[in-house]
Structure 1
């Protein structure tokens, strides 16, 4: 049994040809938009805007400004009723110094005991109060399928 890596998983969505894929790279890089083939893709994607999409041969996709993110998703909904979005996200961890300094075994916070009684766990925690601290994880790419409400 083989297990796919996160990169292989993203490549699987990127290479499918049934639905548009909007890839929001780290700013200031333009969006990459991969569309199912249609002769009018460039005109359709431009949708009367001043800027013109440019073809990125290396990625096999259209490059458009980051500012077109929402617009491109709505446009995809109008023709395809759905699209995949690939973008960066960060996981958020929530804990508190009350947990870190605890002496008993009972842990009721979202760390599920990972930081319980540790003193000060490693990482860059931002302490808001004695009962709330937050730390942002590493940036990773995720993919999600967006659909027109009510679409199957």
Structure 2
């Protein structure tokens, strides 16, 4: 399933749940670059996917996050300011590096099959539009 979702070989890692953890046996981890494709494929196939996103509020952030295109954010803004050019509460410590202190935060995101189909179609339409320029 992972290979068909991305069109490329990826290396998912199965992480076994801690002993006594109720309700689940473990989870898959994948490289962030494959997250959108795999999450959409699972949501379309199964109707819903839940994704735990780990953000470190002490993680150094790069100004390229605020000027980025797309929705893959790895900094502690949790995608809130991704691609918007906003630097609220950030301290510049170089030409591109920003820093903000704090602890780790886990945010659970859900994606249903209908939204996954819409997102996939929107990305395809944008790609076709860019090629047609």
Structure-2-length-normalised TM-score: 0.37
Larger radius of gyration: 1
More strand by share: 1
Comparing both structures, which one devotes a greater share of its residues to helix?
Answer: 2
Please report the TM-score for the alignment, with normalisation by the length of structure 1: 0.33
